[in-house]
């Protein structure tokens, strides 16, 4: 529990530093989106630590704990890419609705507006 708390605090400090630097260099970020990402990553960090604790309870050799933990977490990541298992991923939902999971940086998300924008600047 102490390790998880320390990891979350350090991750939070890193997020705050990155948020500050990004707002200075690029512009302000949405605090709600940042907090949501922090929550998801915190859950991932805690689940990774839980997998390591599980293998530490089963196996006593440190290299075996590290190897089995890494193999288990990599298996989770690879299984998340299987379409039948992971049909509820956020990136799959946005691709079905036509949206982009990445920021558009000033361009509209619809293709017609994007074409109008490009045509406007392609004129001689």
Q: Which of 58, 82, 85, 84 is nearest to 69 (CA)?
A: 58
Distance CA 65, CA 70 (A): 8
Tally the C-alpha atoms within 13 A of residue 94's C-alpha that lie toward its C-beta.
Answer: 9
pLDDT tens readout for residues 85-119: 665 555 544 544 555 555 544 444 455 555 565 55
pTM over cut 0.75: no
């Amino acid at each position: 529990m102490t390790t998880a708390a320390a990891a979350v605090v350090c991750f939070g400090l890193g997020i705050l530093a990155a948020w500050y630097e990004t707002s200075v260099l690029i512009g302000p970020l949405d605090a709600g989106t940042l907090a949501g990402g922090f929550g998801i990553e915190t859950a991932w960090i805690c689940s990774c630590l839980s997998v390591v604790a599980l293998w530490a309870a089963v196996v006593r050799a440190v290299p075996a704990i590290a190897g089995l933990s890494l193999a288990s977490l990599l298996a989770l990541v690879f299984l998340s890419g299987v379409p039948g298992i992971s049909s509820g991923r956020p990136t799959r939902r946005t691709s079905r609705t036509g949206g982009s999971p990445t920021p558009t940086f000033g361009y509209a998300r619809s293709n017609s507006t994007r074409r109008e924008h490009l045509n406007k600047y392609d004129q001689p």
